[in-house]
Amino acid sequence: MPTIEDLKKQALFEGLDDGELAKLLPNIQKITVAKDNHIFTEGEPTKGIYMIHDGKVEVKRKLQLDTKSKMLVMLRNIQSDEIKHTADGWENRFALLGPGQYFGELSILEGKKKHGAEAVALQDTALFILSAENFMELETTATETMVKIMKSIAKVMSGNVRALDKRILKALTGH
């Protein structure tokens, strides 16, 4: 089980005080995932929001590209490893995450029962999980805490949108 000090290091809980974190502790589960193992796969049931305590995680999705799209990707030569061809086909890396960061929140916020991407441990990784059920329960049992958590999510999502905008501009202009 994590400690309050462990939870203070998580971006998801930025702005929460010790009392709020103490109330969350019983709802947080710790798991470990060995290097190169999936944390979840596309289409697998959603379990919750995953927070990285230690390790590194890649979140990616398989791409269904037609021949024309494959050629455009190759010709554009985006010079990044975000879109790449693997033995299993084409894939797009959404995120490369480390300690303090989280993932899986989109499935929870959108009320999806299944993941739309996959997450793989790139190193031996320790994770904390806030289950989907516990997350939803916070809406009614700890409204003020939930507002702070949602602000943290909005802040990270805003940064992600800005980064995506830059990647799209780079892909379009080649710069």
CB atoms within 10 A of CB 50: 25
Mean pLDDT within 118-147: 95
Q: What is the DSSP letter of 123?
A: S
What's the chain's length in residues?
175
Q: What is the DSSP letter of 39?
A: E
Q: Quote the pLDDT of residue 88.
A: 64
Q: Which of 115, 101, 126 is nearest to 48 (CA)?
A: 115
Share of the chain above pLDDT 70, in %: 80
- Asked if 32 and 127 count as a contact pair (C-beta separation under 8 A), the reply is yes
Q: Quote the pLDDT of residue 162.
A: 85
- Asked if 118 and 41 count as a contact pair (C-beta separation under 8 A), the reply is yes
How far apart, in whole angstroms, are the C-alpha atoms of residue 41 and residue 162? 26
The CATH class of 4-173 is mainly beta
Dump pLDDT digits (tens) for 29-70.
Answer: 999 999 999 999 999 999 999 999 999 999 988 766 555 555
Question: Which pLDDT band holds residue 82 (cuts at 50, 70, 90)?
Answer: low
Dump pLDDT digits (tens) for 39-48.
Answer: 999 999 999 9
Give the domain ranges of the chain. Answer: 4-173
Letter string b/e over residues 120-154, b meaning 16 or more CB atoms within 10 A of that residue's CB: bbeeebbbbbbbbebbeebeeebeebbebbeebbe
pLDDT of 96 above 70: yes
Q: Which residues contact 22 (CB under 8 A, 6 or more apart)?
A: 4
Q: Quote the pLDDT of residue 83.
A: 59
